[in-house]
Amino acid sequence: LVGGATAQGMRNPNSKTNALEIFSNKIYSLSKKSTLFFLLGEVDTGFVIWYRALKYQESVEVQLLESINHYIKFLEQIIRDGYKKIIVISAPLPTILDDQDWGEVANLRKTVKATLRERTDLTLEYNKILRQKVIDLGCDFLCTDEYLLNTSTGVIDDRFRNKDKNNHHLDLENYADVIIQVQNEK
């Protein structure tokens, strides 16, 4: 587990989280017959894409594609290195509420003014594009969007929010149940 790892950072050996090195060390310590699961993109769609669009005066769409392309290049390298059983799980839908200013992550992300609905819509678009690229690589893709999304509100269903209001991660038990359900439906 790498806290704060981003798809964007998977091509950056100098990222703040050092995610590339940590992931690479763990992956390459495993047998090439291992099944590898990847779950990245939440930090990208909830913060990094928006932040970089502002910082570099580029569109959100440009940054969205850049993030996905970094993720795909990382996966392509793993495949070239002989790992064939790769399962990518869709980026989780965002949970940080509009104007939420408590909790460490919410405080760090307050520079991004995108609403929860905008961040959710971006995550759905991210997962749609990511899904096709992952399938094109010959990997499996587990999409949890339809289970996490409350279609009445257009944002994540409250049952998937963490019971600790200061924790932006999903409710682990309910989220794990969804991942298992999606995997079993494949």
How many structural domains does the chain have?
Answer: 1
Asked, for residue 146, whether it belongs to a domain, the answer is yes
Asked, for residue 3, whether it belongs to a domain, the answer is no
Give the distance from CA 26 to its chain's centroid.
19
Task: Tell me how many degrees the CA angle 139-141-146 measures, rounded to the nearest 5.
Answer: 170
Range of the domain at 109: 8-20+31-185
Per-residue pLDDT of the chain in tens (186 residues, 90 and over written 9)? 666 688 988 877 777 778 888 889 999 999 999 999 999 999 899 989 999 999 999 999 999 999 999 999 999 999 999 999 999 999 999 998 777 664 555 555 667 889 999 999 999 999 999 999 999 999 999 999 999 999 999 999 999 999 988 788 899 999 999 999 999 998
Asked, for residue 91, whether it belongs to a domain, the answer is yes
Place of tokens 């690479």: 24
Listed residue (68, 62, 76, 73) closest to 44, CA to CA: 68
Contact 11, 20 (CB under 8 A): yes
Asked, for residue 26, whether it belongs to a domain, the answer is no
Asked, for residue 142, whether it belongs to a domain, the answer is yes
Q: How much is the pTM?
A: 0.92
CA-CA distance, 170 to 154, in Å (whole number)?
A: 17
Asked, for residue 118, whether it belongs to a domain, the answer is yes
Give me the CATH number covering residue 150.
Answer: 3.40.50.1110
Asked, for residue 1, whether it belongs to a domain, the answer is no
Cβ neighbors of 2 (< 8 A, separation 6 or more) are 17, 18, 19, 22, 23
Asked, for residue 55, whether it belongs to a domain, the answer is yes
pLDDT value at residue 100: 60
Task: Tell me how many degrees the CA angle 38-39-45 measures, rounded to the nearest 5.
Answer: 140
pLDDT value at residue 168: 80
